[in-house]
Structure 1
Amino acid sequence: MTIDNFPSQLQPIIQQGYLAREFSAGLQSRIAFRAIADREVFPNRVGETITKTRKGLKSPVTTPMNPSQNVNFDNGLTPSTWSVEQYTLTINQYGDTIDLNVVSEGVGIADQFLANANTNGIQALQSLDRIARNALFGGGVGGVGGYMGGNTCVTTALGSSSTQVAVDDIRGFERLVNSTGQVVSVAQSAGMTVTIGSNAYTLVSVTADSVNTSTAPLGQSGTLTLSTSVSVSDGAAGSPVVSSTAPLVLRPNNRLTTAQLVAPTGNYGSSNYVTGDTLGIQTVLAAVAALRMNNVPTIDGAYHCYLDDQQMLGLFRDGDFKYLYRGAYGSDTYRAGSVVELLGVRFIPTTEAPLQASLGAGVIHRAIVCGQGALIEGDYSGALELPDSERSLVENVDGIMMVTREPLDRLKQMIAQSWYWIGGFALPTDATVNPTIIPTSTNSYLKRGVVIESL
């Protein structure tokens, strides 16, 4: 690999690896959603959607064999097999570039060169982290919805009983996993059981609104069509609409919908202060209990809780949290304003946590508590094997390709510094893990994460 075509001021930086280290420093500046993804290498091309199949388990055997049937070659046994389920992953390319003018930068060209690399690294990190977050909360193309899916509310009250109900978010209602483990649309199945208000109905089709009015982050408003008419009481505006296979969404004080969250009142520290529906440690522990009941594995010994700093502030104001943390780890936690680990949960503050505009009580914050396997990252195998070009410097930093191109313009003045990543994120389901396999498990398709909504 030759670097003779680059300006002399930059050749020592490239030769000693400063450029790659500066780009890598940007990539490692924040631990966030991408950190929980299991990495897999996929050989498919850009733009392709691939379907992956993974096996389930078999039900335990608790009935003894009948000695009188222990005959012949099969010994009275009937072969059984494990179930399968599928998830889809789309491979796309993401990237950006920045130019460096050798003439205009003058004596500062080396500093600007490294600054551009660092900026590209930070941008690449934030881009992949946001793509991972969107997949985690919002799902992806061809999936069963993200960890916010299957949990919404009625937006337009029914004047009379009807088979159609307008809802704020149709994610998690559009597709389901059939008996053979395939993800199919609701219209191609026997229907999905959905609880609207206080009663269960069978969902037969979903229609997205041409003009999206959803208030949920990454949400899509639409209409649910049921096999039987929904009563006026169940179809009241704001009534909860929850799929039978929806991921668990927790809210303080057992609020049924996002709009029911109640704001704190009074002045903090005074006798008239009421916490309202801010994040408390008991809600986090309820999420941990749900993950453990589904036997979700931890990540390096603890579940990860991604939350923003306002939710973290709610923890510090929570009485149970103060009691649990009293005397533990000294007072560094309160001085630093962060929590490292508590009761099997690793709290990770992030500025990428999705926020929702106020529905009357204040901005809605969402944390997610998740375990290993909640997210799959697919990296394009071809990007890892790209040869170095004679006219560019290519570095592979954690699956992200950093490309530095020598000046090719007529005046040999413009150096291009670029990055790209080819891959995608997917949410694998655990639909085959049911109470027959694990008695304490739930019916949720997505069992490896729990979303917590609070003010």
Structure 2
Amino acid sequence: MPISNFPAALQPAIQQGFLAREFQSGLESQITYRAVADREIFANAVGETITKTRRGLKAPVTTPLTPSTNTNLDNGLTPSGWTIEQYTLGIDMYGDTMDLNMVTTRVGIASQFLQNAHVNGVQALQSLDRLARNKLYGAYLSGNTRVRTTLGAPAATVSVDDVRGFQYVSVNGVMVPVSGTNTLTVVFANGNSYTLTGVAVDGSNVSTAPQGVSGTLTFSGNVTVADATAGNSVIASNAASVLRPNGRLSTSAIVAGDLLTMQDLLAGVTVLRNNRVPTIGGLYNFYADNAQLKGLFKDPDFKLLYQGQYGSSEYKTGQVIELMGLRIIPTTESPQQTLGSVAVHRGIMCGQGALIEGDYEAITQNEIGADNALIEMIDGIAMVTREPLDRLQQIIAQSWYWIGGFAVPTDITANQNIIPTATASTYKRAVVIESA
């Protein structure tokens, strides 16, 4: 599109690339969760979703072949195959816009133009970062919930705070709804196991978990009142790993003194290493808000580590960058929750492959052409600046949009037959740490 179509007051800013740089500044200012995502191109003309398939491995053979069966064409061997697992990556469009009236903002027009670009950039950043955050926490809090209402008498249906992670079970690598045929084992706080046969979502969501979905779980037999008491933990056998200080089994059990400790961080690193999760540049990323990270400075182990080191950068700056195989990244986007009088903080420890970002390949493709707008791509996001189209030729439109989506892959095939130290979690590449 010719720059001459824009007002003369704006042409120098566009020609010198100020607009692109201002938008870039906004996008790079506070990226956290999105940075952990592996970027993939979502191909054109393949529909709105793509199903990705991961192959597993075959279990090691430790039993010798029997000489007496080493006959015929098969030599006594029975063919075996490797397993697969699938996950779906879907795309949607996100965006926003603002108008700039060149007459009413005649004073400082170039500054206002660039400020709008900066504000759009920050909004785009936060929007994509929250989409990434919600996907991560949605998967890695799944299968961990608590009883919401105490049963009056033993019954098969229990009301819980969050049904995510209980709705589906893997069958031949494909996630299918839980049913009487495809069941799931669930463990309550007292250590008793029950067989889950059905899940129902509440008509009115009252969950207190971040993006949680309240509902009921139905089991093949009655659950005791002692197990189905409000606040008791309810954990699926394939639940993601959620760690809490002092062995707390549920979020509601956290008390004011349950601060983040070095042992909590070490426990998270141990889980990831036991699952053989790849690092990100040699370290795992740990995203947490500053209030949660402050607990480290009260931890006796942390104090002992830095005892006498008054000149250490950690105490000079009040922050920890690398510790125990972790790259600690503070963020202000961490989900916040208050239960009673306790503020619950949630950090998430991620390895490579914990999150996938799909960017639509033809995001700026237009069959007709866009002669009335300037479109620039910044980090996968389209920034659109449209010339005045109103009758008085006064109003510039500044917009952004992104077409894509995030997905959290499963690692079901990495079971204990393949990796003896692996957990039974469906999602293995991140660990959530909850604390006061």
TM interval, short-chain normalised: over 0.9
Q: Give per-residue Cα distances to partners, 1:117-166, cap 9 Å, x unaligned.
A: 1111110000000011011112xxxxxxx111111111111121100111
2:250 is equivalent to residue 257 of structure 1: yes
Aligned with 2:314 (options 333, 338, 346): 333
Q: Which residue of 1 aligns with 2:78?
A: 78
Query: What pairs with 1:27-426 in structure 2 (closer than 5 Å)?
Result: 27-43=27-43, 48-67=48-67, 69-70=69-70, 73-138=73-138, 146-178=139-171, 180-187=172-179, 189-198=181-190, 199-263=192-256, 276-326=257-307, 330-357=311-338, 359-383=339-363, 385=365, 389-426=370-407
SS in 1 for 2:104: helix
Q: Give per-residue Cα distances to partners, 1:348-407, cap 9 Å, x unaligned.
A: 1111100112x2341111011110111111111111555872111111111100111111
Deviation at 1:80, TM superposition (A): 2.0
In structure 2, how many angstroms separate the alpha carbons of the residues matched to 1:36 and 1:248? 18
CA 1:165–1:419 in 2, change beyond 3 Å: closer, same or farther? Answer: same
Q: Could you state the TM-score of these two structures normalised by the residue count of structure 1?
A: 0.91
Segment drifting more, 102-111 vs 89-98? 102-111
Deviation at 1:71, TM superposition (A): 5.0
Q: Give per-residue Cα distances to partners, 1:209-239, cap 9 Å, x unaligned.
A: 1111111111111110000111121112211
Q: Which residue of 2 aligns with 1:14?
A: 14
In structure 2, how many angstroms separate the alpha carbons of the residues matched to 1:75 and 1:18? 72
In structure 1, how many angstroms separate the alpha carbons of the residues matched to 2:266 and 2:323? 10
Deviation at 1:11, TM superposition (A): 1.6
Q: Which residue of 2 aligns with 1:25?
A: 25
Deviation at 1:49, TM superposition (A): 3.2
Aligned residues: percent identity?
A: 60
Count of aligned pairs: 434
Contact kept? 2:31, 2:129, Cα under 8 Å? no
Task: Please give the root-mean-square deviation of Cα atoms over the aligned residues, in Å.
Answer: 1.9
SS in 2 for 1:403: strand
In structure 1, how many angstroms separate the alpha carbons of the residues matched to 2:309 and 2:142? 37
In structure 2, how many angstroms separate the alpha carbons of the residues matched to 1:447 and 1:25? 34
Q: Give per-residue Cα distances to partners, 1:385-431, cap 9 Å, x unaligned.
A: 55872111111111100111111111111111100000111110001
Structure 2: which 5+ runs fail to align? none
SS in 2 for 1:363: strand
Contact kept? 1:377, 1:423, Cα under 8 Å? yes
Deviation at 1:334, TM superposition (A): 2.1
Deviation at 1:47, TM superposition (A): 8.3
Q: Which residue of 1 aligns with 2:421?
A: 440
SS in 1 for 2:173: coil
In structure 1, how many angstroms separate the alpha carbons of the residues matched to 2:343 and 2:409? 30
In structure 1, how many angstroms separate the alpha carbons of the residues matched to 2:366 and 2:305? 52
SS in 1 for 2:113: helix
In structure 2, how many angstroms separate the alpha carbons of the residues matched to 1:67 and 1:24? 68
CA 1:364–1:332 in 2, change beyond 3 Å: closer, same or farther? Answer: same
CA 1:5–1:217 in 2, change beyond 3 Å: closer, same or farther? Answer: same
> Aligned partner of 1:195: which letter?
V
Deviation at 1:16, TM superposition (A): 2.3
CA 1:28–1:64 in 2, change beyond 3 Å: closer, same or farther? Answer: same
Deviation at 1:9, TM superposition (A): 2.3
Q: Which residue of 2 aligns with 1:143?
A: none
SS in 2 for 1:216: coil
